[in-house]
Structure 1
């Protein structure tokens, strides 16, 4: 019993000013942001080409959406491997290994002669890119806590917005001058750039004395500890649900805006700037407010925005079926809410688990990306068409998110 308690005892957070390892807040945010940005790059660069890929392989929309689902499944599951490995061997080396896997997956997809090979490439990509979410959070938790951690995660989110802002436009330009295969060459190049950054500019943030052994019993025990802790589970569920909504409409928008409303890939990219601008604005406001109000107040603002977005998703596309604004206005409001809730929920989920920050980052990432997997899977399989999925799924997810947050607050009030 004593050894079990020692195993799960919380250790002190390393102080960056005196520790021989670690990075400044700015460098941590920059490297973490670029690592995390690889995931959305692999999604948003690719989405303008989905209808083209469906046509090239003579398949249907469901098969095109399945390529997103395969990516999310590998992304979610691999986090559970990446986190414990980083707790044992450190963040930097594990990150380099996983991003090398991501580059391999990108090259497989780039030469894919069939839909099955494309699925394989996407799976390998998702496996490798899982390091971005898990390790960036662990790197922050290794060094920072509280409002400082929220501020740094907000900086990470700001960096994260740059790639999705450029990627759809870049993807559309690639389609004008070449085939969708070139998109995966670009992804491979981005992965190589991350490898170079980790190799030359990153420093290890996990001191040797804080490392955990690779032992299946220990790994499962750490994950069990997280899943049995309401202070972890409720914030992780909020991440799961909000990102489920985000990735749900991400999978649906190309088929609504391009196939139904007739936008060209470039026009689609321009419409998606509403999503990006809203997320940037939300992160700027969150960064300003994070040092002035508590994290739970930021979550309250997010819940109001998600409620408005869910209501708008349920009403506007029905009232104005030919309007792009009726689709993109709810998207923009959802992204504002996502910007408010993500840093606060992530910090809350990681707060009490500094001794197993890699496992906590991996499990919170599993919830987040698992939500993306479920959201894209439901959007592609449970409804007759993309518009029906949009007006039914997003309001339901919004209501469920609010219910989880209210249940968490009721739980805390009774403690």
Structure 2
């Protein structure tokens, strides 16, 4: 029997920067990048998101279901904090009151599964890189309240298309190793993920590698559950015959989440030939993070002394400011004799923006010590950068 996928899609959520307690993790972002790269090599459309609140997790899971339809292969991977109660896993958003463990602050895996089971997909591969120890004081009450809050039906449809891969067994922890790029589960998963073997066999090879690691084998034991009726593989061919319309809809939906706007170029004034260019680039495979660059350049003038041109270019900085709720890292500066000075900003939290992204540009001169002269501002202007990646999804909200 030839097994084929009508499309291949993946939702990857990496929660690292937890807000309440000092429980930040080291490797989730690297784990997400590693998985996305491997899946894209197998023709998966990946949606990769970092540091989501509970409402954002729910919203993005619902949006992801727009990529699901008949015979689609879907991967869901979550890496971050979590726990288990009465056999059900709960995922912790970054704004969870983790010391209280209230059901309204956690996302039940059964709620996610209920959303996924509304579609007749070819295969669901659900990978949970979380701890699975039980935390709540009253498990039964917690479980019942969660069902009421999230409106989880008494019976979730059962379809022979799902395999769960857990980084650890019930009651166990999922570990990171200091100095390692990836967490333990992803460290070994990445070596087998793209092998042309059934998913079940692939996970068994991962588990065997974990058990052969003397540092980990006594504290982390991965586990899986599976009801796949056929030996499906992540490498199964993508065949859209008979599914062309839904495949094209999926493509359009995915492309709308991953489009970058055109560069923005501004002149300073009529009396100078200095101009500012702002452009945006991807931050790895992430859908809610990007790099935004600002550059001050001077139009080339024939016979102009090259040293003078270089000095003119390096004498300015175009600094960018973004309104909340975006998170912006301190800019990095790079110099190029022909391009001048470029500032690069890592911008996170694009899922919080409903529509186009604005920024305020401030053009400063720099002194002889290459320091910005903040009292010598030449221009300040707010401009629209357009829709960036995921921001287009929520323009009408």
TM-score higher than 0.5: no
TM-score tier by shorter-chain length is under 0.3
TM-score, normalised with respect to structure 1: 0.23
More helix by share: 1
More strand by share: 2
Higher RCO by CA contacts (8 Å cutoff, separation 6 or greater):
1
TM-score, normalised with respect to structure 2: 0.24
